[in-house]
A and B are shown apart, each in its own frame.
Chain A
Amino acid sequence: MHFAWSALSIVVLVVAWQGAASFADPRLLPGPGRVGATLVGAALEGSLFTNIGITLARVLASFILAMTIGTAIGIALGRVWLLNRFFDPWLILFLNLPALVVIVLCYIWLGLTEAAAITAVAINKIPNVAVTLREGGRALDRDLLEMASAYEIGRWKTLRHVILPQLTPYFMGAIRSGLALVWKIVLVVELLGRSSGVGFVIGSAFQLFDVSTILAYALAFVFVIQMIELLILQPWERRLNQWRR
């Protein structure tokens, strides 16, 4: 039933798109048919998969980097009052720093390299992860931490069995908002300083006024991100939450 509604909603959107396209200049707003043909063309030629693959690899690399560093910072700030007191202004600064500024500075300082691209995306995401995980760090159950300490189970087991499971909801929140944010920033990074990936293709299409390619790549990438949500994140979350009543 839920699926039927989603399908209907998408069909209505496509019909509306077709309707709008039939009134517009086809160069400005190509209809679903033309975009579909561009998509199939790019897929057959192989460039669609190569570029999406490259972009996904960049998303994954910067995402893992940002989640790891952001989680560590977040837990530390949530647990140690003094650290939080001191670093809070830094966090606010980085939260409000425009993505574009970070990207441009990384390219200037590190050169037009892959490392600069991934660092720039990660720096954009780290403050968000840290803020979310800081809340999780503050909300840790003291009783269970005392239990872990009384039984002397050690740091690693405490982290793995006591702390991380409590952070799961915060972690999933950071991953959700993170995925949406990171892939958008990756496209900008690619547009500005890479010669491959979805962002680069969209940049070239912009030069050529090729709206059909822009829409084809955008739709393909949205589809891929949605599949990650449905096929990886949701089953994973269900598994993590199976202990809940």
Chain B
Amino acid sequence: MAAMTGLEIEIAHKSYPPLGSTPMRRIFEGFHLSVDPGAFLCLLGPSGIGKTTLLNMIAGLDTDYSGRIEFGGTAKPRMAYVFQSPRLLPWRTVLENILLPLPSTEAAQRTALDLLASMGMSDTKNVYPERLSLGMQRRVALARAFAIEPDVLLMDEPFTSLDEATADRLRDLLIGMLVRRPATVLFVTHDSRDAIRMASRIIALSGSPVRAVKDISVGLSQGERQDKGAIEAFRGRFLAQVQ
């Protein structure tokens, strides 16, 4: 197994410039976060406080900040990003979408087909994404992320606007994929149940500029995570005042 990648995040300053009548917003001010290799870290907090901004900075999409983000182990880890909307290319088939970040080789083709098969989606490989349900599209986005065998997996509320049963199946799928192909995960959500069900560590964020108000490691067993009662109990114990 490849050496796992940890993250060392130090954001000295990040703000959004004033826009019209809204004043300048300071998002991060002396924000520090260190993530262990192989952790499943959930960033929990209300919408609009800067969780997505943080992921974008880690992914290198947003470079307009002062501070540093370092990856332990490798200088440049392979990074996959599952966005809040699936962001698939509507003019490419499911298979072509998964192949997009891969080199055009036979091996890549096999990887993509294997992934589709393991997700039970082989029959959709030649379908255009817009003909699929949202749940299926999110599944394809997940397959695309795992196709590059990421060291770091960024996920931004990837299971929103799904019915509970579909979201639950996707959570199981994600856990299953991670067992087969471990990665360091940063998972952004505003749903604490989502967090408790999957995370090894939960950080609750709040305020402007953002601070970590809670930092909890989740020691639940796989069985307890399937149990709604256990999740509610955990939530009551640790997170009641956050959410």
Residues on A facing B (Cβ under 8 Å): 143-144, 146-147, 149-153, 157, 161-162, 165, 240, 242-245
Query: Is there an interface contact between A146 and B128, defined as CB atoms closer than 8 Å?
Result: no
Q: Are A243 and B90 in contact (CB under 8 A)?
A: yes
Instruction: Count residues of B near A (Cβ-Cβ below 8 Å).
Output: 23
- List residues of chain A with CB within 8 A of the CB of B100: 151, 153, 157, 161
What would be 10 A-B contacts, judged by CB atoms less than 8 Å apart? A146-B56, A146-B61, A146-B83, A147-B81, A150-B60, A150-B81, A161-B92, A243-B91, A243-B130, A244-B90
**Chain B contacts of A162 at CB under 8 A?**
89
State how many angstroms separate the Cβ of A142 from the closest Cβ of chain B: 10
- Give the residue of A153, A165, A242, A244 whose beta carbon is less than 8 angstroms from that of B101: A153
Given that A157-B100, A245-B131 are known contacts, is A151 also in contact with B89, CB under 8 Å in the complex? no
B87 CB-CB contact with A under 8 Å? yes
- Tell me if B's interface is mostly helix, strand, loop or mixed: loop
Assembly CA distance A149 to B80 (angstroms): 11
Q: Contact flags (1/0) for B157-186 with A, using CB distance below 8 Å?
A: 000000000000000000000000000000
Q: Using Cβ atoms and an 8 Å threshold, which residues of chain B touch A240? A: 91
User: Considering only CB atoms, which chain B residue lies closest to A162 in the complex?
Assistant: B89
In the bound complex, how far is the Cα of B156 from the Cα of A150, in angstroms?
13
Q: Which chain B residue lies CB-closest to A165?
A: B91
Q: Is B59 an interface residue (CB 8 A)?
A: yes
Question: Contact between B83 and A143 (Cβ–Cβ < 8 Å)?
Answer: yes
**Chain B proximity of A239: nearest CB distance (Å):** 11
Residue in chain B with minimal CB distance to A166: B91
Chain B residues contacting A143 (CB-CB under 8 Å) are 83, 85, 87
Contact B80 A151, beta carbon cutoff 8 Å: yes
Given contacts A147-B87, A243-B128, A245-B131, 12 further A-B pairs with CB under 8 A are A147-B83, A149-B61, A150-B59, A151-B81, A151-B148, A152-B101, A161-B96, A165-B89, A242-B128, A243-B90, A244-B90, A245-B128
For A146, the chain B residues whose CB sits under 8 A away are: 56, 61, 83, 87
- CB pair B89–A144 under 8 Å, yes or no, is yes
**Assembly CA distance A245 to B130 (angstroms):** 7
Task: Please give, as numbers and ranges, the residues of chain B lying within 8 Å of A242 by CB-CB distance.
Answer: 128
Tell yes or no: B79 within 8 A of A by CB. Answer: yes
What's the Cα separation between A242 and B90 when bound, in Å? 10
CB distance from A157 to the nearest CB of B (A): 7
Cα–Cα distance between A25 and B59 once the two chains are bound (Å):
78
User: Whose C-beta in chain A lies nearest to the C-beta of B90?
Assistant: A243
What mask results when residues 47 to 75 of chain B are scored 1 for a CB within 8 Å of chain A, else 0?
Answer: 00000000010011100000000000000
Residues of chain A within 8 A of B91, CB atoms compared: 165, 240, 243
Q: Which residue of A lies closest to B93 (CB)?
A: A243
Q: How far is the CA of A165 from the CA of B88 in the complex (A)?
A: 13
